[in-house]
Amino acid sequence: QVQVVESGGGLVQAGGSLRLSCTASGSIVRIEAMGWYRQAPGRQRELVATITSSGWTNYAQSVEGRFSISRDNAQNTVYLQMNSLKPEDTGVYYCNADRVVTTARVQLTVWGQGTLVTVSS
């Protein structure tokens, strides 16, 4: 079984910064991709940023240049550094571990419970 736990959310003023962390644990052999998604009230969940095990990154256009995703493969941990935050960045941020290969040679996609980010104007 694999679990993903996020941390680092909170309340910040517009223009401020936050750093989110997410660690996957369990019977993991490797994780191909990890990423962050967010869901604002009344809206669908959307991609924020993803990173592969080889370090290839992908960002939503709305966060390009302000957010930075990084990863520690040895610790199965992914980070999201968020700078120049805007009120429209408010939402629940979910960590995703995709194409997780376990010791049982099962491939999984796992989501965290989410962490709330609130940006005040």
Are the beta carbons of 57 and 64 closer than 8 angstroms? Answer: no
Task: Spell out the residues 6+ positions from residue 33 whose beta carbon is closer than 8 angstroms to its own.
Answer: 50, 51, 52, 53, 96, 97, 98, 99
**pLDDT tens digit string along 63-97?**
999 999 999 999 999 999 999 999 999 999 999 99
Q: Given a cut of 90, is residue 9 above it in pLDDT?
A: yes
**pLDDT tens digit string along 18-60?**
999 999 999 999 999 999 999 998 999 999 999 999 999 999 9
CA distances from 69 to 27, 36, 49, 57 (A): 24, 9, 7, 7
